[in-house]
Amino acid sequence: MRKIKTALSATTLALAASVAAAAVPASAFAAAHEPALAAAHPAQKTQAHLTLPPPTGPYQVGTTSLPLIDRSRPNPWASAPRYRELMVSVWYPARDTARYPRAPQMLPGAAAHFGSAGGAAAQLYKVPPGTVDWAATLTSGHTGAPAARGGPFPVVLYSPGAGEDRTWGTTLVQDLASRGYVVVTIDAPYDSSEVEFPGGRVVDSILDAELQQAQKQGPAALAALAKKIVDVRVGDTTFVLNDLTALARGAHPSGAALPAGLAPRLNLGRVGMFGVSAGGFTAAQAMADDPRIRAGVDLDGATDTPVIPGSDHLLPVFSTGLRQPFMFMGDPQTSWKTVASWKSFRTHTPGWHLDLTLNGASGENDYKDAAPLLPQVAAQTGLPASVLTKDLGPVKPAAAVGAEQAYLAAFFGQWLRGQPSPLLTGPSLRYPQISFIR
């Protein structure tokens, strides 16, 4: 996230990138933009309804959400509740799914916040409030369905961008699950745009306020805030892995429980991790700190920003590299040849690594659910084409999603399953939008 579109969309190392010009409180944004948005898009009689691309793998998909409490860590962002609370979702190969309902992409409270004037839809993508029924988008995951027979299945963790929700990467996540992985998506309360807990409690992001305060104090405070965001997420990752280990042994930490047959099918000897933007370099740092994570992918996440001196080395992993396999996927402006942190990582990494570019991408949004959903929003609401061009670039969304699904599956297949893939050895005629950066 070296490009910050708003204070909400980032605050991490990437956050600080355009920090000085981008920090706009949600209330100020709403006051400045909501009238114009409303005038440009008169109230619709019906809200837009969106569809996520279906998974491409052979397995049906199940999903469940778990509230977790880490009683070994105090709440890093607020005085109450006392301990660190998380929400995670587990996506997995399933069977007999017809008897179980499809899960929504967002729960009602989170969807209402996401689509509000101060929410990410309006702030990041200029989607007028009330024009999209965000709560109506269904996933291909069936809530609570029993796990598929076979396995055990490798486990892959997912971390979203700073200021964003775990649900905004559902397309790639459910596709991996359909290919035979258990994928665990991790929200970061007070960092994520909104997190809905059981009972409808919604925790809002405080990154905007934290960013504004750090700006007043200068570069050192911005660097400390950016590092704290990643440190908290890395701690969350280790905690989630510990809880998964207990669940696989039949224990129920934090009162959590998995759907029927899933616990014994978790292969925690083969764990990977990927993330978008800040979630991408969180994956890299988590791998450096926790050797249980055997392979990782950073989707367009770089720490470099002129606002923080030395930001290219802000995280230790960019100075030390990794011994585990790691893959970067960026946009045409983000590669080891253009980004100092990625170049440093490449220089210091003794392990297998690969740098890919998604041609035609405008940035990190092409790796999120924004890619398949924003064109549908535009078609149904009249959202200007300039918004799509700015947020997604000229790449065709379907082609981008297909390539991302294929290369993620190839990477984790090779390094978590021992199935070498020719996609990782050089350019493919099937995916001309992907370039290898040698």
Domains present along the chain, CATH in parentheses: 15-436 (3.40.50.1820)
Token look-up 């992918």 returns 297
| Distance, C-alpha 368 to centroid of its chain | 7
What is the model's pTM?
0.91
The DSSP call for residue 138 is E
Alpha helices (runs of H) in 130-218, residue ranges in sequence order = 170-178, 207-217
**pLDDT tens, position by position, 190-214:** 999 999 999 999 999 999 999 999 9
**pLDDT tens, position by position, 256-284:** 889 999 999 999 999 999 999 999 999 99
Token look-up 């619709």 returns 44
Q: How far apart are CA 276 and CA 301, in angstroms?
A: 6
Question: Residue 368 in 3-state DSSP?
Answer: coil
**pLDDT tens, position by position, 25-76:** 333 333 333 333 344 444 456 899 999 999 999 999 999 999 999 999 999 9
How many other CB atoms sit within 10 Å of the CB of residue 21?
A: 9
Q: What is the 3-state secondary structure (H, E, C) of 228-260?
A: HHHHHHHHHHHHHHHHHHHHHCCCCHHHCCCCC
Q: How far apart are CA 391 and CA 29, in angstroms?
A: 18
- Angle (CA) 343 10 438, round 5°: 20
Contact 94, 69 (CB under 8 A): no
- The model's confidence at residue 137, banded by pLDDT at 50, 70 and 90, is very high
Nearest CA to 282 out of 243, 246, 309, 314 is that of: 314
Q: How far apart are CA 378 and CA 174, in angstroms?
A: 24
Tokens at residue 390, please?
Answer: 């700015």
**Average of pLDDT values for 337-358?**
96
pLDDT at 1: 39
Indicate the average pLDDT of the chain.
90
Nearest CA to 278 out of 78, 5, 10, 4 is that of: 10
Kindly tell me the number of DSSP H helices and DSSP E strands found in the chain: 13, 13
Q: How far apart are CA 77 and CA 191, in angstroms?
A: 9
Helix (H) / strand (E) containing 356? strand 353-358
The DSSP call for residue 437 is -
Question: Residue 154 in 3-state DSSP?
Answer: strand
Q: How large a percentage of the chain has pLDDT more than 90? A: 84
